[in-house]
Amino acid sequence: MSDTQGGIVINLNAYGATIRLDGGELASAGAADVDGHRDRYQRALWQGTRLAFEVRRTGRRCAVKLAPQIRDERLEEQIAAYLKSTQEWEPADGVPAAERHFLRKKRRAALFKGLSS
């Protein structure tokens, strides 16, 4: 089982790296992953910046690999412009669409919970 979690690099050596995950747990990154992304690991160690890692829990130890970092400034600008243009679609005096959707889902879940009892 693997999931994505943030963490900081606290040690870097020839055999890999030691990572402190956001929950405080220590994990190790293998030498192959560190060699493939050495500049990013070194920069994160020196600057103390967080990186995203794919975490695999096998037994007592966690093993991590650097998660793919997808960053497209142009795409983010387009998304921000779209979201800004849709702000006016919301009724000024009504419940926002996200809340309406959540409430509808919550009512439906309660209906199914009542059927299973």
Higher pLDDT residue, 68 or 46?
46
pLDDT of 19 above 90: yes
Q: What is the pLDDT of residue 93?
A: 74
Phi, psi dihedrals of residue 54, rounded to the nearest 5°: -90, 120
> pTM of this prediction?
0.57
pLDDT of 2 above 90: no
- Tell me the CATH number for domain 2-66: 2.40.50.140
Which residues sit opposite 74 in a β-bridge?
Answer: none
pLDDT bucket at 89, cuts 50 / 70 / 90: confident
What are the residue boundaries of the structural domains of the chain, listed by start?
Answer: 2-66, 73-116
pLDDT bucket at 1, cuts 50 / 70 / 90: low
Structure token digits, residue 56: 């695999």
pLDDT of 101 above 90: no
Cα torsion 2, 44, 34, 17: sign: negative
Q: What is the pLDDT of residue 20?
A: 95
Q: What is the pLDDT of residue 92?
A: 72
